[in-house]
Chain A
């Protein structure tokens, strides 16, 4: 994911940004809890931005098993059922700068920049950062963190899952 993201961001750097102020940043920290279960598989995770009315804006990240032969890992993408319905089924995977491998339990940090893929140019308004997770032979959970864009001052917002997700924290930097 990190590597893919870097490549994409570098690629986008050619976009004309001269004359504009430094682009705002949106960073996300996602905590995947350590679960003591007999059969553990790393969860599939989708992260996206939606309007306050829950209509989708852009998919930021999808972690799934893309290493299986014949793209067999795509069979469970529909288990990220809300993301799948809203935009996942329109996305061709693997998608550069968006899809990546599943992650081990612990904290994952991602940073997105206004005007650059996959965040894109976000119009001023109220949004939610959504993280949805589905685990093979396990549960499903979805956490929403509301935020307002663009940030006038550094801001932090977070929400917590109960079962499949720990804290999801959004950091905004003007």
Chain B
């Protein structure tokens, strides 16, 4: 089966929007593969997908999988198996039939509106098609923002590959210089942040280690991309890490948005030496 993402996208936007309180900035979306470095012939990974404050605990909302796109090492799309969405998390299995690197992504592109109606503040989320139907024509102080979100993780069976890592050129994306499944504690990894396929300079990238429940501090650290959108991360210890960045600009492509907010999130596994 070939997944038609275009058709599925509006549903995903609504589903994610319904789950995310508008003020809940700290709620982080994430994908968590059971393993990221694998060997063997009949190889499977299972992936948790959730939205939570603390990483990586599925204790708040599931991440809806409508916008799920899994790219195989040869660039083709893979159909996830045993997909289910529960109270606190979504989950799916991937059969890694090919050697190389798979990109797992949950992608959405929708609209968010703020307006006043009869003096009351209103908020709305949805897709471009439903905007005209659902947002009243007489809405006052209307501000519409396009939201482009991409949540990713990577798994490799055998020798790492790069074909699946190719950016789409839309929204905020990561172009790894260091392979995302080749990350080791105490060593540096280099990445480039791209906005619509071009270097995203001077953007704050936030990084948090997992395991928050068993320590006091979040462990968050921030890095700013350079003029070429590049940044380097020195992983303080082995473990799972969450990386997030967001850009706001006036380059909205969905009407009638005047502003665009693009976000990128990825989960990386850092191995011990």
CA gap between A74 and B42 in the complex, in Å: 10
Tell me if B184 and A85 are in contact (CB < 8 A): yes
Secondary structure call for the A interface: helix
Per-residue interface assignment for chain B, residues 31 to 62, with 1 indicating a CB less than 8 Å from any chain A CB and 0 otherwise: 00000011111110000000000000000000
Tell me if B159 and A76 are in contact (CB < 8 A): no
Per-residue interface assignment for chain A, residues 47 to 69, with 1 indicating a CB less than 8 Å from any chain B CB and 0 otherwise: 00000000000000000000000
> Which residues 73-114 of A have a CB within 8 angstroms of B?
74-78, 81-82, 84-85, 88-90
Q: Which residue of A lies closest to B272 (CB)?
A: A81
Q: A71 an interface residue at 8 Å Cβ cutoff?
A: yes
Tell me if A76 and B182 are in contact (CB < 8 A): no
Tell me if B42 and A70 are in contact (CB < 8 A): yes
Q: Which residue of A lies closest to B271 (CB)?
A: A81
Q: A72 an interface residue at 8 Å Cβ cutoff?
A: yes
| Of listed B158, B182, B273, residue having the most chain A CB within 10 A | B158
Q: Which residue of B lies closest to A75 (CB)?
A: B40
Tell me if B41 and A71 are in contact (CB < 8 A): yes
Tell me if A84 and B37 are in contact (CB < 8 A): yes
CA gap between A85 and B271 in the complex, in Å: 10
CA gap between A90 and B272 in the complex, in Å: 20
Known: A75-B40, A81-B272. 4 other contacts (CB 8 A): A71-B40, A77-B40, A78-B37, A81-B271
Tell me if B42 and A78 are in contact (CB < 8 A): no
Q: Known contacts being A81-B272, A90-B159, is A75 close to B37, with CB within 8 Å?
A: no
Contacts of A75 in B (CB 8 A): 38-41, 43
Contacts of A90 in B (CB 8 A): 159
Tell me if B40 and A82 are in contact (CB < 8 A): no
